Structure 1
Amino acid sequence: MWRPRSARSVVLLAAAALAAPLLGGCGGDSSPSAKARPAVRVALDFTPNAVHAPIFAAARDGADARHDIRLQVVRPGSQPDSLKALLSGRADIAVLDIQDLAIARGKGVPVAGIGALVERPLGALIAQPSVRRPRDLDGQRVGVSGLPSDGPFVKAIVQHDGGDFGSIHQVTIGFAAVSALLGKKVAAVPAFWNVEGIVLKQRGRTFREFRIDDYGAPRFPEVVLVTKTAYLQAHRDRVEAALGAIRDGAKDVRAHPGPAIREIAKESGGAGLALTRAQFAALRPIVDPQLTLHRPILEAWAAWLAKVGQVRQAPDIGADFVFGL
């Protein structure tokens, strides 16, 4: 999928269709001393959810101040695009699906991955109960967001199971994955098992999940932090400080999840505490508080990405990611 949800991100109940307007300045304090610190704006890839908790926590608990910066959260609009916010200068760092980073780099966009928020793929084909395995989607309607990464994602899973991707009818549904499945408008959608998958379970409905790392993909970091290469060259100290603050935020979330759960439930615009708590529980085993980028894992991901046709040639890991920040 691989849409800016976290890219390919997130429809959180019916309210998620009404994402908050793009806005900066969430978190932190507004005292004179705070205003003196340089601001680092972090663009979210979609409606606030558990993946973003370390960013909010860093601003809420003063981790950014300890690293001598001011983190500001840039929320998405109804058509989320954190990469566009980054390139237009409305953000300094962006949360992005790693597949969308690969696509952007393949087009020569001057950005680079600088940290990983999770250490496992979050993408899955979520299907109606009658779809017992991916190849059962032959000849059926599959909902896609309209972003270029969705088609190759569906293709990778279906073809790995021996299905005929060419027979599938792709229907553009935007980011209405949950409602499209509940309304039986499509047989399956590419989505996040930790977000849309949890929403559907909370609604008491049984759907099948075909996770991409069960169908040929290595266990790559799905959601990454990226910045423009020019910004990194000019403000490496700010990037390192922002990553340090987000690491502190991640540690705080792991040690004290209660405040983070309440904050994300509020910021999401309708998820509720029970749903948010379930999403946190699903993510906890795969969150790395160090935001580590593992070169061997990324190299395996790059080879797989080229193999399944997501990109024309394997990403250059040394050029597309910055290690050791």
Structure 2
Amino acid sequence: MQKLHRSVPRKGITLALAAALVGAGSAACSSSSAASSSPGSAELTPVTLALDWTPNTNHTGIFAAEQLGYFKAEGIDLKIIPYGATAPETLVSTHKADFGISYQDGLTEAAATGGDIVSIYAVTQKTDVVIGVRADSGITSPKQLDGKTYAGYGSPLETPMLTYVIKQAGGTGTFRNVTLNTDAYQALYAGQADFALPEPTWEVIQAKLVGKPLRTFELSDYGFPAIYSVLIASSRQYLNAHGDLARKFLDAVQKGYQYAAAHPADAANLLIQANESVLGAQKELVDQSAALEASAYYKDANGKIGVQSAARWTALTDFLYRNGILTDAAGKALAREPDPSTLYTNAYLPAS
């Protein structure tokens, strides 16, 4: 599932599969450790990366870079930390992981509480969530969602974001909430809700493949700020102490996502090969997802990968602050809006 929502299985992968992956991920880390002790590899420096959920196509560039040897070429022994009970934002900000996969609003919320965390790389340049309804629902505009039931995940951004979009479409922004405990399209077709926030690069594709298609509405079409739905975070402490290593890490990451953008089918195969137990039975879904991310999500309007803009960080931070979503460590609403420039940096990206 996309990065707005911490509590639901990402990319439609079940919790059972997630549990199975922990063992697979641990084995991968053990294999990586063994490699670092083999002849000729003693010079490799261990670097840890915490995943935000089970491996999926948001992570394609990372696994492609690992499979193609880009990290080792930079002198890095990458150790991937499988997703567990502790969020990547916590692992990074408490210096238990060097890097972590995060998302813009989640990182902003973590920083607001005093966490030592900063975004250093934008994996996706386009908001990877849409409003979704059943294709046969007769709903052709978000304004028709007034009075309907929304299947959500508990993120503090969901209600104010949806209210904003519905109002922009001409509605009043009033709707009911239920907690989603299944994939979005399953909840809609089961009659549990009228609309949800599925991920177009996974659940929308999956819904079509199983014969339960969705009609979708892009948030940005109604003026909502674009979101960096997938990003890589680190801590100021780590960056200050290991700046050169962070640059080498991002150089390998950049090559991985450049490869994923240029060769989506091959990159998808590398992702599956690295995570056969989780993704091996979902090849068609992974292939279509990887192709969509490559064509519409990795590159910004100028064709660049990984970069972040001040305008986008400012717009979403302002929305979060104005809607009382940002709180301090005591849970109180912030009295002053955070400076967006402290939340991200492009300083460690490879020279273009």
Aligned residues: 321
Structure with bigger gyration radius:
2
Query: What whole-Å deviation, never above 9, does each CA across 1:160-201 have from its counterpart, x for those lacking one?
Result: 223333x42211124633432332311111232112111112
Structure 2 unmatched runs, 5+: 327-333
Whether 1:140 and 2:148 are equivalent positions in the alignment is yes
Instruction: After superposing the two structures, state which structure 1 stretch, 210-219 or 194-203, moved more.
Output: 210-219
Give the direction of change, closer, same or farther, for the CA distance of 1:213–1:148 in structure 2 (3 Å limit). Answer: same
> Given that residues 121 and 220 in structure 1 are in contact (C-alpha distance below 8 angstroms), is that contact kept between their aligned partners in structure 2?
yes
Alignment match, 1:102? 108
Query: Out of 179, 185, 189, which is 2:192 matched to?
Result: 185
Alignment match, 1:216? 223
Q: Which amino acid aligns with 1:162?
A: G
Whether 1:293 and 2:328 are equivalent positions in the alignment is no
> Given that residues 8 and 181 in structure 2 are in contact (C-alpha distance below 8 angstroms), is that contact kept between their aligned partners in structure 1?
no
Q: Which amino acid aligns with 1:122?
A: D
| CA shift for structure 1 position 244 | 0.8
> Given that residues 95 and 238 in structure 2 are in contact (C-alpha distance below 8 angstroms), is that contact kept between their aligned partners in structure 1?
no
Give the direction of change, closer, same or farther, for the CA distance of 1:156–1:168 in structure 2 (3 Å limit). Answer: same
Query: Out of 119, 135, 159, which is 1:151 matched to?
Result: 159
User: Scaled by the length of structure 2, what TM-score is found?
Assistant: 0.80
Alignment match, 2:129? 123
Alignment match, 1:319? 342
Partners of 2:42 and 2:282 in 1: CA distance: 33
Partners of 2:209 and 2:16 in 1: CA distance: 18
Query: Out of 251, 255, 267, which is 1:260 matched to?
Result: 267
Q: CA RMSD in A?
A: 2.9
Partners of 1:187 and 1:88 in 2: CA distance: 40
Q: Which amino acid aligns with 2:246?
A: V
Give the direction of change, closer, same or farther, for the CA distance of 1:310–1:8 in structure 2 (3 Å limit). Answer: farther
Alignment match, 2:4? 3
Alignment match, 1:12? 12
Alignment match, 1:240? 247
Alignment match, 1:30? 35
Alignment match, 1:275? 285
> Given that residues 10 and 196 in structure 1 are in contact (C-alpha distance below 8 angstroms), is that contact kept between their aligned partners in structure 2?
no
Secondary structure of the corresponding residue to residue 132 of structure 2: strand
Partners of 2:89 and 2:188 in 1: CA distance: 28
| CA shift for structure 1 position 209 | 1.0
> Given that residues 12 and 196 in structure 1 are in contact (C-alpha distance below 8 angstroms), is that contact kept between their aligned partners in structure 2?
yes
Instruction: State percent identity of aligned pairs.
Output: 23
Alignment match, 2:329? none
Query: What whole-Å deviation, never above 9, does each CA across 1:223-268 have from its counterpart, x for those lacking one?
Result: 2111122222222222211111101111222343334212334527
Whether 1:114 and 2:137 are equivalent positions in the alignment is no
> Given that residues 100 and 149 in structure 1 are in contact (C-alpha distance below 8 angstroms), is that contact kept between their aligned partners in structure 2?
no
Q: Which amino acid aligns with 2:81?
A: V
Secondary structure of the corresponding residue to residue 272 of structure 1: helix
Partners of 2:308 and 2:185 in 1: CA distance: 31
